[in-house]
A and B are shown apart, each in its own frame.
Chain A
């Protein structure tokens, strides 16, 4: 019996295998006044299929941490594993990234922007079109593929950006304050849309934000970081049921979770 229990435990562990594992990660950069410690001994595990939100005071290094997970920046020490293998350079097969500014190429149409990651890997034209169109539909922009970025609203641009991050079907999507530049209403709508897309695609999402409401609304788990040097000072499980609804924001549970995170950040600053 003991043996069987172990096997099922093992299976359970496999089902919730870590999509991202960060261990002993520190980062020091050379500033004007010498060496500045930016991140200190970060350890975290993001389970596959989870929605994890990182919050923290400005300048705590949460964006840096995300960029390191994307392989876009190198840490001073420590390891980042994605799907069990270290990340030290961008790998769009494993990790898609959505940036704060949509950073869409203005000279390409929405559809060509979504196709870009496929075209630089010389995917066949037909397949590119098919997958980009499927992504366009997933993010609710069917019929807008021929528009150039300047013809799209801020929310639509971020939809295209999400589609571009997902088009290579990576298991992990990293999002760096993707809705920060949007107005409050659009931001709420986009958060809701993101949860829909997430539940349809079963991706692992790591999401950095300043907005505590957004954090609680979206996350399975919120990681709270301290001011520089950034450390992870709290891990809050968001126990709200899914699918999330706007009404939940008015509940006591929501308020208490938000308050707990807020207190942690206040203490940390």
Chain B
């Protein structure tokens, strides 16, 4: 028998988890308090769609602004720090150490400064997502193969042209991976801060229903966040694939390309 494709196995695992989610509570292996069944969770979600929809909109609004701050600020500062040796030596060690600090301990300060509304979530999650974007942008610019720049200079490229035609395309792969991580952290930052202190958003629903032990409603909120994160990741991957077509082009149809070479003239050395 042929070994099944990895994609098929992945789908099967997902289906298995969903089936277990339904069966384990139903058979009474786990009490509903610990794990409400999938169908019950979905029913609660649909019945309370107004409440959850409204919370989702709040969360999405906060996530969108936090991502803008994280990505925009991260790319801007990262480009400056990666591009200018003075700033790099001055700031990079500081930023790298800050990245290791659990920034969530600063959240109380954010609420003190910005209140418990959306502003504190946006600011906190923006800062949370800023670091990976900024660090990977700086790394992407710093680690550009110098021979690319020498070659561009030999072809008469001016400094602005070296930046737009070489530095930017060469650093896009690292920047994109930073954006994916930074975006994911922005989602985490928003949800966590909503869970800590707030009056709106999905994170707020999770913590509010947890305190009253309403498990189906807690899981409904968790399910929404899961779907949100997975969708974001899929979107980020899709953008990466579309942008970095030059890294993978031809990999998939290598065999057909070889066939063409054999049929035609022999390939040059």
Q: What size tier do the contact residues of chain B reach?
A: 20 to 34
Interface residues of chain A: helix, strand, loop or mixed (majority): loop
In the complex, A177 has a CB within 8 A of chain B: no
A108-B246, A156-B267 known; A103 and B156 CB under 8 Å?
A: no
Whether B169 pairs with A151 at a CB distance below 8 angstroms is no
Smallest Cβ distance from B151 to chain A, in angstroms?
4
B210 contacts A by Cβ under 8 Å = no
A107 within 8 A of B: yes
Question: Is B249 located at the chain interface by the 8 A CB criterion?
Answer: yes
Alpha-carbon distance A91/B153, docked complex (angstroms): 9
Q: Which residues of B contact A47 (CB under 8 A)?
A: none
Residue pair A148, B154 in contact (C-beta under 8 Å): no
User: How many chain A residues touch B (Cβ–Cβ < 8 Å)?
Assistant: 40
Q: A101 CB to closest chain B CB, in angstroms?
A: 5
Determine whether the beta carbon of B151 is less than 8 Å from that of A151: no
Q: Are B156 and A91 in contact (CB under 8 A)?
A: yes
Question: Once the chains bind, are B246 and A106 in contact (CB under 8 Å)?
Answer: yes
Cβ of A92 under 8 Å from chain B: yes
Q: Report the nearest B residue to A121, measured CB to CB.
A: B156
* Interface 0/1 of B243-269, CB less than 8 Å to A: 000110110000001000000100111
Instruction: Type the 1/0 row for B55-86, where 1 means its CB is closer than 8 Å to any CB of A.
Output: 00000000000000000000000000000000
Is A29 positioned at the interface, with any CB of B under 8 Å from its CB?
A: no
- Per-position binary interface string of chain A over residues 161-174, scored 1 when its CB falls under 8 Å from any chain B CB and 0 otherwise: 00010001000000
Residues of A within 8 A of B267 (CB): 153, 156
Shortest distance from the beta carbon of A5 to any chain B beta carbon, whole Å? 42
Q: Does B170 contact A (CB under 8 A)?
A: yes
Q: Please tell me which one of the listed residues A99, A141, A148, A186 contacts residue B151 in the complex, with CB atoms under 8 A apart.
A: A99
B43 CB within 8 Å of chain A: no
Q: Is the CB–CB distance between B147 and A99 below 8 Å?
A: yes
Which residue on B lies nearest to A91, using beta carbons?
Answer: B156
Q: What separation, in Å, do the CA atoms of A99 and B145 have in the docked complex?
A: 13
B166 at the interface (CB under 8 A from A): yes
Q: A156 and B268: CB pair below 8 A?
A: yes
Using A120-B161, A155-B269, A156-B267 as known contacts, say yes or no to A105 and B156 having CB atoms under 8 A apart: no
Q: How many Å from the CB of B161 to the closest CB on chain A? A: 5
B265 vs chain A, min Cβ distance (A): 8
Contact of B155 with A by CB under 8 A: yes
Chain B hits for A70, CB < 8 A: 154
Q: Is the CB of A90 within 8 A of B155?
A: yes
Select which of A92, A99, A120 is within 8 A of B165 by beta carbon. Answer: A120
Q: Are A92 and B155 touching (Cβ within 8 A)? A: yes
B268 adjacent to A140 (CB under 8 Å):
yes
A90-B268 CB under 8 A given contacts A120-B165, A148-B250: no
Judge whether B148 is part of the interface by a CB distance below 8 angstroms.
yes
Q: Which residues of A contact B145 (CB under 8 A)?
A: 103
Q: Do A190 and B269 touch (CB < 8 A)?
A: yes
Alpha-carbon gap, A193 to B166, bound state (A): 30
A117 touches B150 (CB 8 A): no
Pairwise interchain contact B153-A147, C-beta atoms closer than 8 A = no
Is B200 an interface residue, CB under 8 A from the partner? Answer: no
19 A-B residue pairs with CB within 8 Å? A70-B154, A72-B154, A90-B153, A91-B156, A96-B154, A97-B151, A99-B150, A103-B145, A103-B151, A107-B246, A116-B155, A120-B157, A120-B161, A147-B250, A148-B250, A150-B247, A155-B268, A156-B268, A182-B269
Chain B positions near chain A (C-beta within 8 angstroms) = 145, 147-148, 150-158, 161, 165-166, 169-170, 172, 246-247, 249-250, 257, 264, 267-269
Further pairs besides A105-B169, A143-B264, A155-B268: 15, Cβ < 8 Å: A91-B156, A97-B151, A97-B154, A99-B147, A101-B147, A103-B145, A103-B148, A107-B170, A120-B156, A120-B161, A121-B156, A151-B257, A153-B267, A159-B268, A189-B269
